Amino acid sequence: MAAALQAQRLFLTASTSSSSSSSSSLTTRPRRTTAAPCRAGLRVPSGVQTTTASSIPADGGLKLDWIDVTTTSGSIASSPADRNTAVDKLRAVAEAAADRAEMHDIIGRQRDNWNHLLLHSTNSLTLAASVMAALGPAAPGTVAALKASAGVQPSQLAEEQRNATRLWRQLERDVRATLQHEAQQVTQADVQDAMDRVLALDAAYPLPLLPGMLEKFPKAVEPARWWPRRRPQQQPKSSSTTTRSRSFGRRGVRTTSNGWSQELEEEMRGLLRVLRAKDEHQYLTVGKLVLSINRGLAVAGPALAGTAAVAAAFIGTGDGAWASGAAAACGALAAAVNTVEHGAQLGMLFELLRNCAGFYRKVQEDIEAALEEADVERRENGEVFRTKVALLLGRDAAELRQFRRMASASVKDDDIKDYAGKLF
Q: 242-254: per-residue pLDDT in tens?
A: 333 444 544 444 5
65 beta partners: 39, 52
Whether 197 and 274 map to the same domain: the answer is no
Whether 197 and 126 map to the same domain: the answer is yes
| Domain membership flag for residue 43 | no
Whether 198 and 301 map to the same domain: the answer is no
- Say if residue 58's pLDDT is above 60: no
| Domain membership flag for residue 345 | yes
Supply the pLDDT for residue 320: 66
- Say if residue 236's pLDDT is above 80: no
| Domain membership flag for residue 334 | yes
Residue that terminates a domain, selected from 145, 180, 208: 208
Q: What is the reported pTM?
A: 0.67
Whether 183 and 291 map to the same domain: the answer is no
Supply the pLDDT for residue 118: 66
200 pLDDT tier (thresholds 50, 70, 90):
very high
Whether 290 and 353 map to the same domain: the answer is yes
Supply the pLDDT for residue 273: 95
Q: Which has more confidence, 136 or 32? A: 136
End-to-end CA distance of the chain, in Å?
A: 61
Whether 199 and 265 map to the same domain: the answer is no
Supply the pLDDT for residue 78: 59
Average pLDDT over residues 172-196: 85
Which tens digit of pLDDT belongs to each residue from 128-157?
655 655 554 444 444 444 444 444 677 888
Average pLDDT over residues 270-277: 95
Which tens digit of pLDDT belongs to each residue from 347-387?
889 999 999 999 999 999 999 999 999 899 999 999 999 99
| Domain membership flag for residue 231 | no
Whether 341 and 274 map to the same domain: the answer is yes
| Domain membership flag for residue 214 | no
Supply the pLDDT for residue 63: 45
Residue that terminates a domain, selected from 190, 208, 226: 208
d(CA 367, CA 388): 11
Supply the pLDDT for residue 11: 46
| Domain membership flag for residue 295 | yes
Whether 282 and 192 map to the same domain: the answer is no
Q: Among 26-30, 184-188, 217-221, 309-313, name the most confident range.
A: 217-221
Q: Among 63-67, 141-145, 176-180, 399-403, name the most confident range.
A: 399-403
d(CA 4, CA 194): 45
- Say if residue 278's pLDDT is above 90: yes
Supply the pLDDT for residue 122: 65
33 pLDDT tier (thresholds 50, 70, 90):
very low
Average pLDDT over residues 152-170: 86
What percentage of residues in the chain have a pLDDT greater than 70?
A: 65
Which tens digit of pLDDT belongs to each residue from 84-128?
778 878 888 888 888 888 888 888 887 777 677 666 666 666 666
| Domain membership flag for residue 269 | yes
Whether 419 and 295 map to the same domain: the answer is yes
Whether 174 and 293 map to the same domain: the answer is no
| Domain membership flag for residue 402 | yes
Whether 185 and 303 map to the same domain: the answer is no
Per DSSP, the three-state class of 227 is: coil
- Say if residue 336's pLDDT is above 60: yes
Whether 201 and 297 map to the same domain: the answer is no
**How many domains is the chain partitioned into structurally?**
2
Domain assignment of residue 112, given as a range: 79-208
